Amino acid sequence: MGISKRLLLSITLAFTATLASAQDWPSYGGDNGSGKYLPLDQITAQNVDDLVVAWSWDSVDNETVAANLAGDNNTAVPSSYKATPIVVEGVMYVSTSFGRIVALDAASGDQRWSFDTRAWEMTGRPVNLGYNTRGVAYWEQGDKKRLFFATYDAFLWSVDTETGIPDSDFGQEGKIDLTLGLGREVDRRVYGVISPPLVTNNKVIVNSVVSDVPPSIEMPPGDVRAFNPDTGAMEWIFHTIPQAGEFGNDSWEDGSWEYTGNTNSWTIMSADDELGIVYIPIGTPTNDWYGGKRTGDNLFAESLVAVRADNGERIWHFQMVHHGLWDYDLPAAATVVDINVDGRPIKAVAQISKQGFTYVFDRVTGEPVWPIEERAVPPSSVPGEVASLTQPFPTKPAPFEPQGISDETLIDFTPELRREALQNIEQFDYGPLFTPPSTRGAIQFPGWFGGAEWHGAAFDPDTGLYYIPSSSSPIVVQLGEGTRGREEMGYVRGGARSVAGPQGLPLTKPPYSRITAINLNTGEHEWMVPHGEGRRQQIIDMGILDPGPVGGGSGAGPVLTKTLLFLAQRDGDRNLLRAFDKARGDIVVEIELPLPPQGTPMTYMQNGKQYISIAVGGGRDSRLVTLALP
């Protein structure tokens, strides 16, 4: 007996309504491809101004911080709260700066449970950025549902999503020690994890953070490992510094592969779940600024590496910086994108960089979508340093940030300001991108904060537009001979670290932070807008013609919906979530936040209502603020 058309329509509408009533955000970047996109359209340009706080959650860390400040442990205080929540089946899961995991009702914000890894009780301040976590990862198989969380004291935890209790079948009492299995003795004071694990193809994949101020040339390696989600057993390891007999080992001359460390993927990783490929963005070797103890190109430092999810074997790689001397780590997850170039559909992956480049590859083969040219760059004058003669430059897309110190980049509001800027830079070496560090001090622009940063970019699959927030900030890298136990390192960074701009203004032209929309189907920039007012009023007060918004302030990452682009920023003394028109970059509305935003926002739909949630604050007061229409 056939089903009636009316009944079929009723079933279809009911199914559609169910799908529309709840849409999850199950991974840090929305999905493992890190697109930071969800096709929700309830919040539009016409009603976004009506957003209100649906609920706010005060971090369970706040009480601990207050007790620490009142007692003897007054150094155990987190800085910015940078986590991005995930939402699965109506429950929000988020980590805290002190290394706790919390489950909240996604519609009301009511806390269901909290689990404390007690990572914050480790002796001393955690490596590099202190008490800092970015998020958790979700896994389910059959009736088993788990959260995975890697901590800055170097443990990987598996926690039951229903109860918040560690999985006793995983490792030892629910955790495994990540300092083990690396082939070297590892001091957890210089080694840990801040980014969420990547869960794909029934593997839990973990990277690491290693101290950026190494005490010696012998540091922990940045190897990436995959673990069994049921048992915690290690299933594969990818050596970011190739070992004897492995591809790339000969790019580490004079046996430097045996002792050099770092070369770690500290940021977010991504994957194509269907193809079973993991994309690993990798950072600089020990030490960031001098490579005289590690001559050669140093694979796989500052490379994007594609490996098989099932066994960790390298499929392809591309090195963005040969023999890195600038701390140009790949700072963000590569974005899995489907594009159409000259009528040819391409499964691609896009990687943004601190240099301001966007590298676009066929994500299966690693072939660049547009040519990438090796071009000559300045040599080094530091004794023992052998800088690479060339570096790779993408021909498309054009850089999204200015590069190098030149007439094109120096501030020029008035002739007087320009003359003062020229006087300020004469005490240092300066020039184009990849001007190497020196004993005199070299200006590096963009500096080590980028360009692009860890919160990454967002991709719209309907239009092919790629939205990149970035900043412009020069630094000075001055090298001196190592002292006080660091002699074996040769040269280390010290002395001058910055260069003043004229009359308290920045050294370079605005904008000092920006949002760039690049069409990945053509490789062309669609638009660029300054991100924030920045120092606009200061410039006006100096009697200079109003330049308009010049960009500036600390910002967070993007989240993209069917209708709008959202970005948060502390702009002067204002804490804002801005909604932008996706096609032009115009600001649609500015929404005041109670505290400075640092975590990348996310969006989801629950019970037919769309929400936007973001981590704000830090120190004594960390919160999640969640917005919705009334």
Residue extents of the structural domains in the chain: 33-621
Instruction: Please tell us whether the domain made up of 33-621 is placed in CATH 2.140.10.10.
Output: yes
Q: What pLDDT is recorded for position 12?
A: 38
Q: What is the pLDDT of residue 21?
A: 61
- Give CA separation, 36 vs 120, 134, 575, 601, in Å: 29, 15, 22, 9
Q: Residue 196 has what pLDDT? A: 98
Question: Where residue 125 falls among pLDDT bands split at 50, 70, 90?
Answer: confident
**426 in helix, strand or coil?**
coil
For 40-76, write each residue's pLDDT tens digit.
999 999 999 999 999 999 999 999 999 988 887 777 8
Top-confidence residue, 128 or 49: 49
User: So what's the pLDDT on residue 76?
Assistant: 87
Residue with more model confidence, 29 or 70: 29
What is the pLDDT, as a whole number, of residue 7? 39
- 122: pLDDT confidence band, cut at 50, 70 and 90? confident
pLDDT recorded at residue 165: 98
Residue-averaged pLDDT of the chain: 95
* Across 282-301, average pLDDT: 97
Please determine, for residue 11, whether its predicted confidence score (pLDDT) is greater than 70: no
pLDDT tops 70 at residue 338 = yes
Residues in the chain, overall count: 630
- The pLDDT confidence band at residue 516, using thresholds 50, 70 and 90, is very high
pLDDT tens profile 367-380: 999 999 999 999 99
* Residue 73 confidence (pLDDT): 74
Residue 20 has pLDDT above 70, yes or no: no
The 3-class SS string of 70-99 reads HCCCCCCCCCECCCCCEEECCEEEEECCCC
Question: Judging by DSSP bridges, how do beta strands 554-561 and 37-38 pair with one another?
Answer: parallel
Partners of 627 in the β-ladder: 53, 612
Does 16 score more than 50 pLDDT?
no
What backbone phi and psi angles, to 5 degrees, belong to 68? -65, -45
**407/474 Cα distance (integer angstroms):** 15
